[in-house]
Amino acid sequence: QKEVEQNSGPLSVPEGAIASLNCTYSDRGSQSFFWYRQYSGKSPELIMFIYSNGDKEDGRFTAQLNKASQYVSLLIRDSQPSDSATYLCAVYGSGTQGGSEKLVFGKGTKLTVNP
């Protein structure tokens, strides 16, 4: 089982819609969860982090965490064309499954927001 899984997409939404990005992880001991945005040819940029179950809102972005289901999501409200990028889910491993404590990335979901 892959450690961090995301739908590769592409996910296409119209401008102004809500974009929903999903991620599941295998390490049940993980405590820290991150969403990075990566524009084509650029470096990953941290946009959200969440540690506790529930929702965390920051502007148009909401991160949702459900540790029982091992599921993290990112909602982008009022999507803009400038949100078009690849979104990387990252989970900080606990080191309890034979691996070291490290940030493990999913393969990313490519989001396109159409004007």
Partner 1 sequence: DTAVSQTPKYLVTQMGNDKSIKCEQNLGHDTMYWYKQDSKKFLKIMFSYNNKELIINETVPNRFSPKSPDKAHLNLHINSLELGDSAVYFCASSPSTDTQYFGPGTRLTVL
Residues lying near partner 1 in the complex (CB under 8 A) are found at 32, 34, 36, 38, 42-46, 49, 86, 88, 92, 100-105, 107-108
Q: How far is the CB of 73 from partner 1 (least distance, A)?
A: 19
Q: Nearer to partner 1 by C-beta: 60 or 107?
A: 107
Q: State which residue, 57 or 101, has the beta carbon closest to partner 1.
A: 101
Q: At closest approach, how far in Å is the CB of 84 from partner 1?
A: 15
Least distance (Å) from partner 1 to the CB of residue 88? Answer: 7
* Cβ proximity to partner 1, 62 vs 93, nearer residue: 93
Which long-range contacts (C-beta less than 8 Å, at least 24 apart) are formed by 18-21?
A: 18/75, 18/76, 18/77, 18/78, 18/79, 19/75, 19/76, 19/79, 19/83, 19/111, 19/113, 20/73, 20/74, 20/75, 21/73, 21/74, 21/75, 21/76, 21/87, 21/89, 21/109, 21/111
Distance in Å, CB of 41 to partner 1, minimum: 8
Q: Is 61 left (phi over 0), alpha (psi -120 to 50) or beta?
A: beta
Residue 1 or 115: which CB sits closer to partner 1? 1
